[in-house]
Amino acid sequence: MNYLLECYLDQFTNSPRTSLHDRRKRQMMVTYISTLIEGYARGTGTEPESAVRESIMAIVRYHEGNRAANGSVCMMGRYHNILYVAVKVCYDWQLKDTGTVLALLESIYACEKTYERIFIGAIFGNRAPYYIAGWKSDFDSQEENLIFVVYFIDHATTGGLELDSTRFIDVPLESCGSDNPTPAKIALQLGLPDKLHIFLRYGAKTEDCLVVFIMKKLMEFCHVYPYNIVACLQLLLRVVPKINLETKKIFEDYPDLVEDGLIPLTRCGVQVPELKHLTRCTIRNQLWLNCQLPSGIRTLSVPDSLKRYLDLMED
């Protein structure tokens, strides 16, 4: 398998620099490699998992070899874009080997310092990658992009992937704002509770400024609140023990939200937060520290209703 891929990659070296910028050409390469994997698995009687793993690592080595030959500076173009062929192969075959998936993600980050090409389509929609990053998505719908992202978030979380002391899910998307927002922050700013929910379940950071941002936004609507913005606030209040502001300031600056019950008295300092809620925050923090969000919740010896509560599925 390695020999076949090495021969193929040797021929690929003579391709034009922009040969993999086109989505169709990337897909052609994905199809070719997938055919090799399928043929090798059938011919040798081995599980496809092994052939997929070998294929991904061969591409990573090819990229790293060319990078090393250029003084440890990535030449980008086809030499880097081939990593996204590996990303698609990895996802199409649902590779289970987390170590291989992390090696691929680390190789991408080493050159780009971001994961924009992985996240943008899932957050903004299928056409967004082209307008934001000049890169057409490899999927036909936003839903497919989102499933694709969850696959990599799951592996990165399980494997405890940290890049410059930052978890995979919190790596900023530099092209999406001057403040280098994280995926969770972008979902919040756009009022996308379904995306925000996924990111929070996997332990995305929730800074105090995010809660303040959403409360200020809701105050603009004078008691007639959009459902999606309210849903975003409710999700944030599930993962923080309480709003990190003085009670007096909350009542002075956000009286409408308190009056309408969008900010419960147990979250603004008037009443003590519920023990059940504080327990959820503590358990989730411990699971986050051990890279077990949300998968570790399923292993806890608690009723299913509490597992749903811990997993932010209900309140």
pLDDT at 18: 84
What ranges in the chain are assigned the alpha helix state H?
2-12, 23-44, 48-69, 77-92, 98-112, 116-124, 128-133, 142-158, 183-189, 193-201, 208-219, 227-239, 247-253, 255-259, 275-289, 304-310
pLDDT at 126: 80
Residue-wise over 254-283: b if at least 16 C-beta within 10 A, else e?
Answer: beebbeeebbbebbbbeeebeeebeebbeb
The 10s digit of each residue's pLDDT in 85-142 is 999 999 999 999 999 999 999 999 999 999 999 999 999 988 777 777 677 889 989 9
pLDDT at 15: 80
Higher pLDDT, 70 or 159: 159
pLDDT at 64: 93
Residue-wise over 136-174: b if at least 16 C-beta within 10 A, else e?
Answer: bbbbeebebbbebbebbbebbbbbebebeeebbbbbbbe
Place of tokens 């608690």: 302
Place of tokens 């989505």: 23
The 10s digit of each residue's pLDDT in 142-157 is 999 999 999 999 999 9
The 10s digit of each residue's pLDDT in 26-54 is 999 999 999 999 998 888 888 899 999 99
How confident is the prediction for the chain on average, in pLDDT? 92
If DSSP codes are grouped into helix, strand and coil, which group holds residue 46? coil
- Name the nearest CA neighbour of 288 among 280, 309, 304: 280
**Alpha-carbon span 237 to 227, nearest angstrom:** 15
Q: Is the pTM of this model over 0.85?
A: yes
**Torsion angle of C-alpha atoms 146, 147, 149, 152, degrees rounded to 10:** 170
Structure confidence at residue 12 as a pLDDT band (50, 70, 90): confident
**Alpha-carbon span 231 to 54, nearest angstrom:** 44
- Give the pairing type, strands 166-167 and 162-163: antiparallel
Contacts of 245 (CB under 8 A, 6+ apart): 208, 212, 268
C-beta separation of 211 from 249 below 8 A: no
pLDDT at 178: 76
Could you give phi then psi for residue 163, rounded to 5 degrees? -130, 115
Q: How far is CA 309 from the centre of its chain?
A: 22
- Name the nearest CA neighbour of 183 among 204, 162, 167: 204
- Name the nearest CA neighbour of 156 among 195, 123, 116, 204: 204
**Within 13 Å, how many C-alpha atoms sit on residue 59's CB side?**
29
C-beta separation of 33 from 5 below 8 A: yes
Residue 236: CB atoms within 10 A of its CB come to 21
